[in-house]
């Protein structure tokens, strides 16, 4: 018995002496598509004596919803993954602490949509229409180059889009048309509908079930996806099977943000992690992990990106305030025209 | 007998006896309910009521919102009723097929019918597309056979929804009804036949009424599943259709309109409660006595039987095998040559996708080796089986011999099936916060969904244990253990296996549980599949198909293994 007490107390002593060195835990809430290299995480953990826990919590909308509901007792220290279409909602809910990261000075102003620095840009991507190169060459069809051309009869039934009510990719494309056509965007969609546009619930279905150049061998050779997607559809001979249509306003820019959640117990560590996310090491890891572009201009893009992923010369954009004021109304009007 | 005994005295002692019995009965009842009710309160009622109270307010009761509600409610009812009817049409004869006839490949066919139940909806949509899509198998074959008449099959989204519901839920009917059917006392039918009834009349007048409770139970479960359908509607409905569950998700997650989501959740719960009350009312009116020994399985003899058996084997195999086979095919074959290259054509067979599963190509933190995913899935599933049987048995025992308490509790235990996963998930978050990240909670979330199935499978079986036989056995000098071993156990074993299989497969398929909890550690096979499908590229798609094939193989193997436990029993007789 005495033996046991001795053992226990020495064990406790050991534990206590270890305590100051035991790593602090930092929790980061993300959307389900988040990914990062093991190596990169390890290097942060070792440099800062920290343990990182990622908490994938659904799609971007669900994550933000959960963070807002738990703002009195936050589940995490940081939240990554709301994009510019959800940004205003996040800022209105007032769930973030402001942080003026020294890394921000490198980052172009076009990404810094939140002047209060409560949310900091991490990556961006362009939602674009991808096309099946082979389909168009086999059928001697010219690839459409603008939103207008998509309503031409030769492209009838060839385009699949995502429902903006259920998919952020679909919402981005709807916003591209809003940016281009203004209030008359519904007329454009009516024309698209008359031309047999196919609507599905989300990107996975559109890309893998409906798109003809993906392994799903679907019926549509035109799909709303990302400018980076062609870099994943490269044949062994080194040729991409798909490409993006890079016309005026055919693409919509999505920017993803990170923020330090109010009520964090690890403010200093959280700041370090934000800096780390904006640093060259993390930014260079992102493209192949999540098929997005780094906001840090010093980050070098991987080979497949520079070779196969194209960046549009002019992406459509809308201000977060405009989006927040009208998003629901746009979706409602779209549903009325396209689905009813 | 002395009839001059004081009448009052006798009445008193009787009263005391009843009182004593009811006190001890009450104690026994509370003990039976202690665990299941605690679980339901902690894991369901408390978090759900918390989120509903927080978000619901009467200001949502606007004419506009009520209009949305009626519209959605009408479609929800319509598609659920139609789907359930179609599922019964395929499921009931199939249940007879499995319960009565012996044929080659029977276990395999039965296991196959259970596979869709645990496949992620994305995968089912992909396999349907491979079969019915414009460039799918059927159209490819028909354009090959009839090159001159290029008429392609193009099922409407609504047809696809119905087909998918039948595809998913037929196994529920098969499992519950064939379990009951094979436990029916064959003597009843024999007696009827010896009294001159032809086989149709025996079916109509004897067998069907005896099967009523299990058919009703299965129908209720199928209906509730269709009623709260989510993934199928979203993925196959082409965005034109909305059930209550889809609308709740849309309002809560996309529109941030939590009050309307709460209103819709309450309506969905009330509907579920009404169905369950209706069911309890219908089912407690009679429950037949089952035999402790199963009916002998036999080969089809008459022409009519042969036609029936062949037709349904053909129907089931084509309905289940064809879409499912597209998964292994796509995981092992490139369906078309990689285009844009002249020299080397990458047609045909490849093991690349499987090999790739073992490589963490991108060095991602979220990479999970396939064996680890399998192990995680099996661990969670086994824990779910143990937990749901542990909670389900006492509840089913109490419900099988209902008192006034059970009359109230009976419909309530079905409520978890009718609650919106999204709202419950939000309820979990505000109630249990950081606890949610613990992997220990995963089996609890799975159990919440499996429990109604387990209880509904066990309850009719327990109720059917023939009291007469038990009394007869004990009066002939059998010890309580012998009575249990020879009468209770054989009936219970079959039902327990069926219930356990439900729990196992529900856990493997992770029904909506990903909406309930977040877990950074120990991803399962469905989680891995989703991860592959969230990124472009043939390699990701191939790996998703490979993972889905592994899930399918795992399911078939576990169901066959579970059925092995059943076999020695049927050989005994």
Indicate which CATH number applies to the domain containing A210: 3.40.190.10
**Residue of chain B with shortest Cα separation from A64:** B253
pLDDT computed for residue B4 by the predictor: 42
Residue A140 included in any domain: yes
**Residue of chain B with shortest Cα separation from A329:** B255
Claim to verify: residue A131 and residue A236 sit in the same structural domain: yes
pLDDT of residue B12 exceeding 70: no
pLDDT of residue B552 exceeding 60: yes
- Chain B closest-CA separation from residue A144 CA (Å): 21
* Dihedral class, residue B238 (left if φ above 0, else alpha if ψ from -120 to 50, else beta): left
Residue B500 included in any domain: yes
Segment holding B558, helix H or strand E: helix B538-572
Domain residues for the domain of A144 are: 126-252+310-338
Domain residues for the domain of B216 are: 29-140+154-572
pLDDT computed for residue B271 by the predictor: 93
B residues 506..525 contacting A (CB < 8 A): 514-515, 518, 520
Q: Is B345 part of the contact surface with chain A (CB cutoff 8 Å)?
A: no
How many other C-beta atoms lie within 10 A of the C-beta of residue B328?
A: 16
Claim to verify: residue A152 and residue A233 sit in the same structural domain: yes
Claim to verify: residue A90 and residue A144 sit in the same structural domain: no
Identify the band that residue A286 occupies on the pLDDT scale cut at 50, 70 and 90: very high
Claim to verify: residue A322 and residue A261 sit in the same structural domain: no
State whether B237 and A201 contact (CB < 8 Å). Answer: yes
pLDDT, one tens digit per residue, over B362-394 is 788 888 888 898 999 999 999 999 999 999 999
Label residues B12-35 b or e (16+ Cβ within 10 Å = b): eeeeeeeeeeeeeeeeebeebbee
* Dihedral class, residue A132 (left if φ above 0, else alpha if ψ from -120 to 50, else beta): beta
| Token code pair at residue B249 | 């998700």
Nearest CB partner across the interface for A134, out of B255, B339, B515: B339
Phi–psi pair at A80, nearest 5 degrees: -120, 135
Q: What is the mean pLDDT of residues B99-112?
A: 89
Residue pairs between chains A and B whose CB atoms are closer than 8 Å:
171
Residue A102 included in any domain: yes
Residue B295 DSSP symbol = P
Residue B263 included in any domain: yes
pLDDT computed for residue B529 by the predictor: 86
Claim to verify: residue A191 and residue A262 sit in the same structural domain: no
| Token code pair at residue B408 | 């109230």
Collect all residues of chain A within an 8 Å Cβ-Cβ radius of residue B362.
35, 37, 288-289
How many other C-beta atoms lie within 10 A of the C-beta of residue B102?
A: 13
Claim to verify: residue A248 and residue A261 sit in the same structural domain: no
- What is the model's pTM? 0.83
pLDDT, one tens digit per residue, over B213-264 is 889 889 998 999 899 888 888 878 767 788 999 899 888 887 888 999 999 9
Q: A238 with A301: CB under 8 angstroms?
A: no
State whether B135 and A219 contact (CB < 8 Å). Answer: yes
Higher pLDDT, A148 or B523: A148
Nearest CB partner across the interface for A215, out of B122, B341, B541: B541
Q: Is B302 part of the contact surface with chain A (CB cutoff 8 Å)?
A: no
How far, rounded to the nearest angstrom, does the alpha carbon of residue A134 sit from its chain's CA centroid? 28
Claim to verify: residue A27 and residue A97 sit in the same structural domain: yes
Beta bridge partners of A132: A242
pLDDT, one tens digit per residue, over B525-535 is 888 888 888 88
pLDDT computed for residue B341 by the predictor: 39
Q: A167 with A61: CB under 8 angstroms?
A: no
Beta strand segments in B305-360, E: 333-334, 348-349
C-alpha dist (Å) from residue B399 to B345, B391, B463, B556: 64, 13, 8, 32
Claim to verify: residue A220 and residue A188 sit in the same structural domain: yes
How many other C-beta atoms lie within 10 A of the C-beta of residue B232?
A: 27
Identify the band that residue A39 occupies on the pLDDT scale cut at 50, 70 and 90: very high
Q: B55 with B259: CB under 8 angstroms?
A: yes
pLDDT of residue A316 exceeding 70: yes
pLDDT of residue B138 exceeding 80: no
Claim to verify: residue A137 and residue A97 sit in the same structural domain: no
| Token code pair at residue A286 | 């992102």
| Token code pair at residue A78 | 């940081």
C-alpha dist (Å) from residue B310 to B222, B304, B323: 26, 10, 20
pLDDT of residue B146 exceeding 80: no
List Cβ neighbours of B203 (8 Å cut-off, separation of 6 or more).
none
Claim to verify: residue A260 and residue A228 sit in the same structural domain: no
Collect all residues of chain B within an 8 Å Cβ-Cβ radius of residue A134.
339-340
Q: If you search the block for the tokens 């402001």, which residue do you land on?
A: A98
B residues 540..559 contacting A (CB < 8 A): 540-542
- Chain A closest-CA separation from residue B35 CA (Å): 29
Q: A290 with A120: CB under 8 angstroms?
A: no
Residue A61 included in any domain: yes
Nearest CB partner across the interface for A54, out of B343, B426, B520: B520
**Residue of chain B with shortest Cα separation from A65:** B253
Residue A259 included in any domain: yes
Q: How many residues comprise chain B?
A: 573
Report the distance separating Cα A248 and Cα B251, nearest Å. Answer: 33
What is the total count of domains within chain A? 2
Map residue B340 onto helix, strand or coil: coil
**For a pLDDT cut of 90, what percent of chain A falls above it?**
59
Question: Of A294-308, B362-376, B409-423, B475-489, which range is least confident?
Answer: B475-489
Which parts of chain A fold into alpha helices (H)?
A: 2-18, 38-48, 60-69, 87-92, 133-138, 168-181, 185-194, 203-205, 267-278, 280-290, 303-308, 320-338
Claim to verify: residue A131 and residue A110 sit in the same structural domain: no
Q: If you search the block for the tokens 């059943």, which residue do you land on?
A: B566
The alpha carbons of chain B give a radius of gyration, in whole angstroms, of 26
Give the orientation angle of helix B421-432 with respect to helix B46-55, to 10 degrees. 100
Q: B396 with B498: CB under 8 angstroms?
A: no
Q: A177 with A147: CB under 8 angstroms?
A: yes
pLDDT computed for residue B515 by the predictor: 66
Residue B526 included in any domain: yes
| Maximum alpha-carbon separation in chain B | 110
Map residue A258 onto helix, strand or coil: strand
pLDDT computed for residue A6 by the predictor: 52
- Chain A closest-CA separation from residue B536 CA (Å): 6
List Cβ neighbours of B282 (8 Å cut-off, separation of 6 or more).
B212, B216
Residue A70 included in any domain: yes
Indicate which CATH number applies to the domain containing B274: 1.10.3720.10
Report the distance separating Cα B338 and Cα B73, nearest Å. Answer: 47
pLDDT computed for residue B435 by the predictor: 76
Report the distance separating Cα B204 and Cα B77, nearest Å. Answer: 29
Residue A2 included in any domain: no
B residues 200..239 contacting A (CB < 8 A): 234-235, 237-239
B2 CB-contact burial (10 Å; exposed 0-12 / middle 13-18 / buried 19+): exposed
Residue B271 included in any domain: yes
B50 CB-contact burial (10 Å; exposed 0-12 / middle 13-18 / buried 19+): middle
Q: Is B159 part of the contact surface with chain A (CB cutoff 8 Å)?
A: no
pLDDT of residue B343 exceeding 50: no
Collect all residues of chain A within an 8 Å Cβ-Cβ radius of residue B68.
none
Residue A1 included in any domain: no
Residue A284 included in any domain: yes
Provide the mean pLDDT of chain A.
89
Q: Is B253 part of the contact surface with chain A (CB cutoff 8 Å)?
A: yes
Claim to verify: residue A133 and residue A157 sit in the same structural domain: yes
B286 CB-contact burial (10 Å; exposed 0-12 / middle 13-18 / buried 19+): exposed
pLDDT of residue A147 exceeding 80: yes
**For a pLDDT cut of 90, what percent of chain B falls above it?**
23
What is the total count of domains within chain B? 1
pLDDT computed for residue B345 by the predictor: 43
Test the B interface: residue of A41, A45, A208 with most B CBs within 10 Å: A208
pLDDT computed for residue B284 by the predictor: 64
| Token code pair at residue A56 | 């994938």
Q: B122 with B235: CB under 8 angstroms?
A: yes
Report the distance separating Cα B84 and Cα B277, nearest Å. Answer: 18
**For a pLDDT cut of 70, what percent of chain B falls above it?**
86
Check: complex ipTM more than 0.90: no
State whether B537 and A134 contact (CB < 8 Å). Answer: no
Q: What is the mean pLDDT of residues A226-253?
A: 88
């Amino acid at each position: 018995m005495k033996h046991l007490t001795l053992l226990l107390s020495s064990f406790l002593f050991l534990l206590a002496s270890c305590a100051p060195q035991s790593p602090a835990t930092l929790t980061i809430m993300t959307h389900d598509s988040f990914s990062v290299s093991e190596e990169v995480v390890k290097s942060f953990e070792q440099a800062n004596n920290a343990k990182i826990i990622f908490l994938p919590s659904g799609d971007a909308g669900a994550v933000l919803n959960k963070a807002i509901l738990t703002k009195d007792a936050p589940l995490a220290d940081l939240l990554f993954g709301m994009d510019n279409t959800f940004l205003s909602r996040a800022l209105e809910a007032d769930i973030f602490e402001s942080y003026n990261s020294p890394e921000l000075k490198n980052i172009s102003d076009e990404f810094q949509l939140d002047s209060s620095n409560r949310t900091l840009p991490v990556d961006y991507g362009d939602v674009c229409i991808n096309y099946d190169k082979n389909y168009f060459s086999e059928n001697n069809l010219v690839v459409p180059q603008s939103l207008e051309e998509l309503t031409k009869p030769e492209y009838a039934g060839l385009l699949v889009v995502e429902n903006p009510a259920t998919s952020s990719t679909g919402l981005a494309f709807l916003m591209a048309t809003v940016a281009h056509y203004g209030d008359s965007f519904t007329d454009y969609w009516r024309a698209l509908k008359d031309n047999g546009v196919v609507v599905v619930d989300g990107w996975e279905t559109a890309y893998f079930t409906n798109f003809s150049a993906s392994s799903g061998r679907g019926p549509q050779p035109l799909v709303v996806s990302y400018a980076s997607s062609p870099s994943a559809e490269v044949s062994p001979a080194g040729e991409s099977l798909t490409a993006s249509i890079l016309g005026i306003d055919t693409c919509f820019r999505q920017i993803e943000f990170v923020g330090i959640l109010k009520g964090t117990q690890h403010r200093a560590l959280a700041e370090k992690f934000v800096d780390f996310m904006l640093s060259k090491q993390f930014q260079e890891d992102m493209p192949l992990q999540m098929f997005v572009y780094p906001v840090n201009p010093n980050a070098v893009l991987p080979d497949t990106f520079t070779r196969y992923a194209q960046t549009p010369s002019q992406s459509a954009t809308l201000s977060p305030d405009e989006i927040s004021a009208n998003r629901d109304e746009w979706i409602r009007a779209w549903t009325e025209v396209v689905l009813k | 007998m002395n009839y001059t005994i004081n009448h009052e005295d006798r009445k008193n002692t009787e009263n005391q006896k009843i009182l004593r019995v009811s006190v001890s009965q009450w104690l026994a009842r509370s003990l039976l309910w202690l665990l299941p009710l605690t679980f339901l309160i902690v894991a369901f009622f408390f978090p759900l009521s918390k989120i509903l109270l927080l978000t619901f307010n009467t200001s949502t009761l606007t004419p506009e919102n009520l209009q949305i509600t009626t519209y959605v409610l009408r479609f929800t009812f319509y598609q659920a009723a139609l789907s359930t009817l179609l599922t019964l049409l395929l499921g009931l004869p199939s249940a007879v097929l499995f319960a009565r006839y012996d044929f080659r490949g029977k276990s395999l066919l039965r296991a196959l019918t259970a596979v869709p139940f645990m496949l992620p909806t994305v995968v089912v949509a992909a396999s349907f597309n491979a079969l019915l899509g414009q460039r799918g198998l059927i159209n490819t074959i028909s354009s090959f056979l009839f090159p001159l008449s290029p008429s392609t099959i193009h099922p409407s989204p609504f047809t696809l929804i119905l087909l998918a519901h039948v595809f998913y839920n037929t196994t529920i009917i098969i499992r519950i009804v064939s379990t009951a059917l094979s436990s029916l006392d064959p003597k009843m039918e024999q007696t009827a036949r010896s009294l001159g009834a032809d086989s149709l009349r025996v079916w109509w007048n004897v067998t069907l009424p005896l099967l009523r409770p299990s058919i009703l139970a299965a129908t209720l479960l199928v209906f509730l599943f269709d009623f709260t359908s989510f993934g199928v509607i979203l993925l196959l409905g082409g965005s034109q259709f909305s059930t209550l569950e889809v609308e709740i998700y849309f309002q809560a997650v996309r529109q941030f309109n939590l009050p309307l989501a709460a209103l819709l959740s309450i309506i969905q719960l009330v509907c579920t409660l009404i169905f369950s009350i209706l069911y309890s009312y219908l089912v407690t009116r009679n429950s037949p006595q089952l035999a402790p020994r199963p009916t002998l399985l036999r080969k089809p003899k008459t022409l009519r039987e042969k036609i029936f058996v062949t037709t349904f084997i053909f129907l089931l195999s084509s309905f289940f095998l064809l879409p499912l086979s597209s998964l292994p095919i796509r995981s092992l074959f490139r369906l078309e040559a990689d285009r844009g290259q002249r020299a080397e054509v990458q047609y045909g067979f490849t093991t690349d996708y499987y090999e790739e599963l073992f490589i963490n190509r991108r060095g991602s933190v979220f990479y999970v080796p396939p064996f680890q995913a399998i192990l995680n899935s099996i661990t969670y599933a086994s824990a779910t089986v143990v937990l749901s049987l542990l909670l389900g048995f006492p509840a089913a025992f109490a419900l099988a011999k209902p008192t006034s308490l059970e009359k109230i509790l009976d419909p309530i235990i079905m409520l978890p099936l009718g609650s919106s996963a999204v709202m419950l998930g939000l309820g979990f978050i505000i109630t249990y916060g950081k606890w949610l990240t613990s992997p220990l909670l995963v089996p609890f979330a799975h159990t919440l969904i499996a429990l109604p199935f387990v209880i509904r499978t066990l309850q009719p079986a327990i109720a059917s244990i023939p009291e007469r036989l038990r009394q007869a056995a004990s009066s002939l000098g059998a010890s309580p253990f012998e009575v249990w071993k020879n009468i209770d156990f054989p009936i219970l074993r079959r039902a327990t296996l069926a219930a356990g299989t439900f729990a196992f497969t529900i856990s493997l398929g992770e029904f909506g549980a990903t909406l309930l909890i977040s877990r950074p550690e120990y991803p399962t096979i469905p989680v891995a599949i989703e991860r592959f499908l969230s990124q472009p590229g043939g390699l990701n798609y191939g790996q998703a198909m490979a993972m889905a094939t592994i899930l399918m193989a795992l399911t078939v193997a576990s169901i066959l293994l579970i059925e092995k436990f059943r076999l020695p029993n049927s050989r005994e007789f």
